[in-house]
């Protein structure tokens, strides 16, 4: 699609708006791994808002799909990649205390050095992995 960058920018602004609502509305940082992880390991003290946030997060894409704006995830069907990838993302984001939304969007926008360092390392590792898979395994 030719206007992918425009939709990217528009979608990005919506993501940022979500961050603004949570920050100025409730004084919270919109970090997906922190929000999801806190629920999974029981460390969150805010179950209600966490469930509300996660409900919104998957219901709007579902509604957009039903309304005719379909997106395919095009995820791999290699089970080992899905399991290994999921474990690495889950463990990595919790050790690093953040992911693309927390360190990337919320961290970079407040000029956080930790956010910048994390972002450089996860994008770097992502580039190495994608390149190695393509060149080495043709995936």
Partner 1 sequence: MRLLLSLLSGSLFGAGLHISGMTDTARVRGFLDIAGAWDPTLAFVMGGAILPMLVAWRFTRSGASLTGDAFPKPTSQEITRPLILGSVLFGAGWGLVGLCPAPAVASISYGGWQGFVFLVAMLAGMWAVPPLRRMLDSGAARA
Q: Minimum distance between the CB of residue 123 and partner 1, rounded to whole angstroms?
A: 6
d(CA 58, CA 34): 17
Cα angle at 25 between 27 and 66, to 5 degrees? 120
Q: Minimum distance between the CB of residue 132 and partner 1, rounded to whole angstroms?
A: 8
Is 38 in contact with 50 (CB distance < 8 Å)? yes
Is 21 in contact with 111 (CB distance < 8 Å)? no
Q: Minimum distance between the CB of residue 138 and partner 1, rounded to whole angstroms?
A: 12
């Amino acid at each position: 699609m030719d206007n992918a960058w425009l939709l990217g920018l528009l979608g990005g602004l919506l993501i940022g708006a979500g961050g603004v609502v949570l920050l100025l509305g409730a004084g919270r940082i919109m970090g997906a791994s922190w929000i999801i992880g806190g629920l999974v390991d029981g460390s969150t003290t805010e179950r209600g808002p966490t469930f509300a946030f996660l409900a919104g997060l998957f219901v709007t894409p579902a509604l957009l799909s039903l309304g005719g704006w379909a997106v395919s995830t095009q995820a791999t069907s290699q089970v080992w990649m899905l399991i290994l990838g999921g474990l690495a993302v889950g463990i990595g984001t919790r050790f690093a205390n953040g992911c693309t939304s927390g360190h990337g969007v919320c961290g970079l926008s407040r000029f956080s050095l930790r956010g910048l360092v994390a972002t450089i390392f996860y994008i770097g590792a992502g580039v190495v992995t994608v390149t190695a898979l393509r060149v080495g395994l043709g995936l």
